[in-house]
Amino acid sequence: MKIATWNVNGIRARGAQVEEWLEREHPDVVCLQFTWWAPWRNLRARNIGWRLDYLLASPGLAARARSCVVQADVGTSDHAPVVMTTG
C-alpha cells in the first residue's frame, strides 16, 4: 500500500503540480491536509478555524473505510492529523 501526504496550503496555486504528482506516484491513499486554528481568542478549544481535511483513497481502499476523524486534541501545533480507519 502506498500512502502519500501533502500540506495543501495554497493548493489553488499548485493544482497542476499536485495532479502531476498524483499521476506519477499512483498512491492508494492521499492525505491532503490543512487544518489551522489561529493562536488567539482560544479558537482551537472552540473548534473555530480554517479547515480542509481530506483523505483520498483508491476505490478498493475507500470501500473498506470505516471512519475518518480529525484528531483536534492531538499535539500542540496549530494543525491536526486526520486518521482513516479501514476494516
Q: Is the pLDDT of residue 25 over 70?
A: yes
Q: Which residue has the cell 502506498?
A: 2
Rounded alpha-carbon distances, angstroms, from residue 58 to 34, 62, 77:
21, 6, 30
Distance of CA 61 to the CA centre of its chain: 16
Helices (H), the chain: 15-25, 59-63
Q: What is the sign, positive or negative, of the torsion defined by CA atoms of 41, 33, 5, 2?
A: positive
pLDDT above 60: residue 74? yes
| pLDDT per residue as tens digits for the range 28-66 | 887 777 666 677 777 777 777 766 667 778 888 889 888
Phi-psi region of 42 (alpha: psi -120 to 50; beta: other; left: phi over 0): left
pLDDT of residue 43: 73
